[in-house]
C-alpha cells in the first residue's frame, strides 16, 4: 500500500526520495543486468519523463545516483524539470556504491537459463548480499551526514538495491514503518516508483513513509516476477 508523496517542510526532518530507474529492454526480457550498463528503453524514457513531471514542483536540495546509465538518464528527466533549474542541468552526484548487485557470471543471462545452470543459488555467483549492503550503507551514511541542513534529497538507484537496503533498514537498523505499510510491502518496486524515508535530524531515527508509489504513472503497478534484478 502507498500513500501520497509530497515534499518535506520540517527543518527537523530530512526526507529522502528513492526512485528506481526506468524500464530497460533487459527488464522486459527478464535478463539479469547487475553491473551491465544497459540504458532505459522507449517505455522507460516515458516513465522517466512522468516521474520528472511529478517532481517538477518539489525543491530538491541534492541529487545522488548510481553511475550506471539507466539511472543517469532517469534522474536527468527529474533534474531538468526542477523549478530552481537554470539553463544548465542541476549537478548529480554519481557513485558506483549505488549500483545494482554484481551478479557475476549470470549477468546477461535470461533468468530461466541461470536457474537451469546454477540453480537457486544463481544470485550468489558474484557479489554477496553482505557486500552489497555494506557499500550501500556506507554511501547512505555519507549522504545523510552531508545533508543535515537540508530538507529534501533524491536518490536514483536499482530494484535490488532498494529492496535489499530498505529491508536492512527495517530489520537491522530499526527504521520504523508508516502505519499504512507492512513488512511484506518491501519487495522489488516498479520502474520509476518512488519510496520515501524520513530521518529525524536530532535523534537520527528513520521512518519508511512510503514504498513503491507509482501514482505518477497513473495507477498502482507492481513487479510480477520478484526474482528479477
In this prediction, residue 4 carries a pLDDT of 86
In this prediction, residue 120 carries a pLDDT of 87
In this prediction, residue 97 carries a pLDDT of 98
- Averaged pLDDT of the chain: 94
Structure confidence by residue, pLDDT tens digits, 160-175 = 999 999 999 999 999 9
Q: Is 127 a catalytic residue?
A: no
Average the pLDDT over 19-30 and give the result: 96
Say how far apart CA 20 and CA 155 lie, in whole Å: 9
Cβ contacts of residue 134 below 8 Å, gap of 6+? none
Q: Which of 21, 158, 168, 216 is catalytic?
A: 21
The grid coordinates listed for 83 are 523549478
Q: Which of 77, 100, 127, 139 is catalytic?
A: 100
In this prediction, residue 85 carries a pLDDT of 56
Structure confidence by residue, pLDDT tens digits, 82-137 = 866 555 567 899 999 999 999 999 999 999 999 999 998 998 999 999 999 999 99
- b (16+ CB within 10 A) / e for 168-183: bbbeeeebebbeebee
Q: Is the pLDDT of residue 157 over 80?
A: yes
| Residue 6: pLDDT band with limits 50, 70, 90 | very high
Q: Where are the domains of the chain?
A: 13-102+128-217
pLDDT over 70 percentage in the chain? 95
In this prediction, residue 222 carries a pLDDT of 93
In this prediction, residue 88 carries a pLDDT of 59
Give the CATH H-level superfamily of domain 13-102+128-217: Phosphoglycerate mutase-like (3.40.50.1240)
In this prediction, residue 225 carries a pLDDT of 81
Q: Is the pLDDT of residue 36 over 80?
A: yes
In the three-class reduction of DSSP (H, G, I as helix; E, B as strand; rest coil), residue 53 is classed as helix
CA dihedral 165, 217, 103, 31 (to 10 degrees): 160
Residue keyed to cell 545523510? 144
Q: Is 100 a catalytic residue?
A: yes
Q: Is the pLDDT of residue 226 over 90?
A: no
Task: Please give the distance of CA 77 from its chain centroid, rounded to a whole number.
Answer: 15
End-to-end Cα distance, the chain: 22
More confident residue, 87 or 201: 201
Query: Residue 52 to residues 9, 48, 49, 56, 58: CA-CA distances in angstroms?
Result: 20, 6, 5, 6, 10
In this prediction, residue 2 carries a pLDDT of 58
In this prediction, residue 224 carries a pLDDT of 87
Amino acid at each position: 500500500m502507498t500513500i501520497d508523496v509530497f515534499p518535506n517542510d520540517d527543518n527537523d526532518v530530512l526526507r529522502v526520495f528513492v526512485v528506481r530507474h526506468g524500464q530497460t529492454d533487459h527488464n522486459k526480457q527478464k535478463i539479469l543486468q547487475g553491473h551491465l550498463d544497459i540504458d532505459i528503453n522507449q517505455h522507460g524514457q516515458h516513465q522517466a519523463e512522468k516521474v520528472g513531471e511529478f517532481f517538477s514542483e518539489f525543491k530538491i536540495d541534492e541529487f545522488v545516483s548510481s553511475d550506471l546509465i539507466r539511472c543517469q538518464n532517469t534522474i536527468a528527466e527529474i533534474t531538468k524539470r526542477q523549478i530552481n533549474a537554470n539553463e544548465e542541468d542541476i549537478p548529480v552526484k554519481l557513485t558506483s556504491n549505488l549500483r545494482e548487485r554484481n551478479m557475476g557470471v549470470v549477468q546477461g543471462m535470461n533468468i530461466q537459463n541461470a536457474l537451469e545452470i546454477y540453480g537457486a543459488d544463481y544470485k550468489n555467483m558474484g557479489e554477496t548480499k553482505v557486500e552489497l549492503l555494506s557499500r550501500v550503507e556506507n554511501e547512505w551514511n555519507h549522504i545523510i551526514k552531508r545533508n543535515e541542513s537540508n530538507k529534501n534529497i533524491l536518490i536514483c538507484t536499482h530494484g535490488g538495491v532498494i529492496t535489499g537496503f530498505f529491508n536492512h533498514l527495517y530489520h537491522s537498523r530499526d527504521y520504523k514503518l508508516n502505519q499504512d505499510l507492512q513488512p511484506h510491502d518491501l519487495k522489488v518496486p516498479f520502474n520509476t516508483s518512488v519510496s520515501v524515508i524520513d530521518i529525524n535530524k536530532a535523534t537520527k531515527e528513520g521512518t519508511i513513509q512510503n514504498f513503491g508509489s507509482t501514482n505518477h504513472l497513473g495507477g498502482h503497478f507492481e513487479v510480477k516476477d520478484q526474482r528479477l534484478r
